Chains A and B, each alone.
Chain A
Amino acid sequence: MAEILQDVVNAVSLGALYALFAVGLALVFSIAGIANFAYGDFAMVAGYVLVLVVALVWPLVVVVVIVAAMLLAVASDRLAFRPLRAADATTLLVASFALSSLLQHVMRGIAGNQPKGVDFGASVARPISIGDVTVPRLDLLTIVVVALTLLGLTLFLRRSFLGMQLRAAAEDFTMARLLGVPANRLIAAAFGLSGAIAGIAALLLTIRSGAVSIEMGLQPVLVAFVAIVVGGMGSLSAAALGGLLLGVVSVLLEVLLPPDLKPYRDAFLFTFVVLVLLVRPQGLFVARGAEARI
């Protein structure tokens, strides 16, 4: 029983982290139509910023890392994506691949190829015992942080003026523009928000692994990509649910797969994705027809 509960906490915490990434990616996708492959690299750069400022008091570290990721995201939009506003989704995806490669190689030039260990948040990495269940504090922290972040994001989108504009733009971008919503500023805001989420995710990821590396953004962004497709493109809650589902499925695979098939967990995960797409190409959690009308 205790073992099952531990697996559940583990699954929910991984799912929460994936959900966070998926929401960050979906924010930009639902508003600007950009499937931003460089999103994981925002988190990667934020991780290296963490290495730089880790000596400061921890609240300041958290703020600096998040702000750095926001600035990087907004600058990326201004320099790489804004010139391509009129392009189609696939061209934007290619552009984001190029941006991802750019960020990785610039970072490699600055920081070298080797992963760097970071001594940050070691105290939350220790396990905690509740009754006879032992879970890492980090798992609980991840779940709490993600829940708070998503709650904050929801409140922001529902209650603030900018949030209202963002929701309107996600619903129908052309209509929102016709009604006077400033497109470029809005997309920049979406990038800023997604950058902040990338910063938070980078903090959680780095505590989890205790190190940063050039490739650290790849796995999360792949999962987030798949999460927004599985969940349903264009809807934030669908993306969050998609991320959660993927986290749960991936822990399930980890637990249930026979040992000699365990290394192939990701292959099974992505096969699952293709299967989902076959049954429901529009995503699992989208009720109304999301296909573009002619």
Chain B
Amino acid sequence: MARLAPAVERVWPLLALALLVVVVTATLGPGVDIEIWLINTILVVGLYVFVGNSGVMSFGHVSFVALGAYVGAVLTIPELTKQLVLPDLPGFLGTVELSTTAGTLAAGALALVVGYLVAIPLMRLSGLAAGIGTLALLVITNNFLLNYEPLAGSGTLTGVPTDATTGMILVWLLVAMAVAFAYQQTRSSLRLRASREDEVAARAMGVPVERDRRLAFALSAGISAIGGALYGHYLGAFGAQFFYFGTTILIIGMLVIGGQRSLTGAIVGALAISAITTWLDRWEAGESALGIALELPAGSREVLFALLVLLMLKLRPDGITGGREVPWPSRWLASRSLPARTEAGR
């Protein structure tokens, strides 16, 4: 036990979060759209890997979600269906037919590469210019998707195999969390976090800021694309309009509310906002939720969500978690029982 403890303690935040996600899925699963909760959480984890580590906000990650959804769909729609819904696909794309898992993996891998390539120019920018550069990425992607007829253009892409089960999405989420947590333990992440706190000082210490940012960006693009592919396989049909500002603000809002500087923040924010929006949705539809029957006007979900983001930025700019991971229980208990901690407390 004495030997095991340090190892467990090291991965404790990941274990605790995995437990949280599994428990939430098991207890709330039957009553709500849990698959959407889990997919949203994957998207937030994806965004977090870049934003949380580097401190640079990205408004363009939904581009990779779109990439994942479309690539995942094109690779897995059965050939016969494809001739019907996507007759103009170029080359081998018209005939290829992968399983959902393989298609999702391929989408993630492609996004990893594309993310890295896109990051080469984008990561030379910093601060607000970087934010606006990623915004440009989102606009370019949307403009392309809305007009590219071989991928259904502004219409709806249908016929995607709907075989993404709750368990499958849960496993992908756990994998994404493990990847995010593992990356957090690397030198690259540590260097990025140093540059997040003080970019000039980090550069002066020899941190290759651009290189580390490119790496984190590629990784986070890959995770986002996997979330996108699963989204397609869960719903079976989607349109280009989904991958634009509405989804962008939702994902960013979840991360900001949870706390953008820790994985715990990403998970907690995604689950909390998913829960809140689910209840608000029910109230909008005039049903009862949490034992309360309310009738909210349509659109109040988005309005309240926006207000919540604004309020959170004011009251707790570091989010619910304040940038901390789940604390190790014994230390947490110790800190509670010893209010006056000394410097040597650790």
**A99 and B311 alpha carbons, distance in the complex (Å):** 11
Chain A residues near B317 (CB-CB < 8 A): 87, 91
Q: B136 and A270: CB pair below 8 A?
A: yes
Among B122, B146, B299, B300, the one with the most A-chain Cβ atoms within 10 Å of its Cβ is: B299
Which chain A residues lie closer than 8 Å to B122 at the CB level?
Answer: 274
Q: Please determine whether A229 and B132 come into contact, CB atoms closer than 8 angstroms.
A: yes
Known A95-B309, A99-B310, A271-B140: A106·B303 in contact at CB below 8 Å: yes
Number of A-B pairs whose CB atoms are under 8 Å? 116
- Whether, in the assembled complex, A158 has its beta carbon less than 8 Å from a beta carbon of chain B, the answer is no
By beta carbon, the residue of chain A nearest B303 is A105
Q: In the complex the two chains form, is A97's CB within 8 Å of B121's CB?
A: no
Chain B residues whose C-beta falls within 8 Å of the C-beta of A274 in the assembled complex: 121-122, 133, 136-137
Contact (Cβ within 8 A) A94 B136: no
* Interface membership of B144, Cβ < 8 A: yes
Question: Binary interface profile of B, 119-132, with partner A (CB < 8 Å = 1, else 0)?
Answer: 00110110111011
Across-interface contacts of A87 in B (CB, < 8 A): 313, 317
Q: Closest Cβ of chain B: how far from A40's Cβ, in Å?
A: 11
The listed residue (A89, A108, A225, A270) touching B140 by CB distance below 8 A is: A270
Are A105's CB and B139's CB within 8 A? no
B227 proximal to A (CB < 8 A)? no
Asked whether, in the complex, the Cβ of A84 is within 8 Å of the Cβ of B245, the reply is: no
A95 to B257, CA, bound (A): 12
B329 at the interface (CB under 8 A from A): no
* B contact patch SS: helix
Residues of A within 8 A of B253 (CB): 94, 98
Q: A294 touching B140 by the CB < 8 A rule? A: no
Which residue of chain A lies nearest to B147 when distances are taken between CB atoms in the complex?
A263
Q: Is the interface of A mostly helix, strand, loop or mixed?
A: helix
Cα A294 to Cα B202 in complex, Å, equals 13
B263 interfacial contact with A, CB 8 Å = no
Establish whether residues B299 and A94, one from each chain, have CB atoms under 8 Å apart when the complex forms: no
Q: B267: CB under 8 A from chain A?
A: no
Contact with A98, one of B121, B136, B140, B309 (Cβ below 8 angstroms) = B309
| CB contact between B127 and one of A83, A89, A225, A267 (< 8 Å): that residue | A89
Task: Count chain A CB atoms within 10 A of each CB in B135, B298, B317 and give the residue with the most.
Answer: B135
B302: nearest chain-A partner, CB-CB: A105
Cβ-closest chain B residue relative to A218: B245
Other-chain residue from A84, A101, A277, A278 in contact with B313 (beta carbon distance below 8 A): A84
B contact residues vs A (CB 8 Å cutoff): 56-57, 59, 121-122, 124-125, 127-129, 131-133, 135-137, 139-140, 143-144, 146-147, 200, 245-246, 248-249, 252-253, 256, 297-300, 302-303, 305-307, 309-310, 313-314, 317
Interchain Cβ contacts under 8 Å between A and B, 8 examples? A35-B128, A90-B56, A101-B246, A102-B306, A109-B299, A222-B135, A263-B143, A278-B121
**Sample of 18 further A-B pairs with CB below 8 A, known A94-B253, A99-B310:** A80-B310, A84-B314, A87-B317, A90-B56, A93-B57, A93-B131, A94-B57, A101-B306, A105-B299, A105-B306, A109-B297, A109-B303, A229-B129, A264-B147, A270-B139, A270-B143, A274-B136, A294-B200
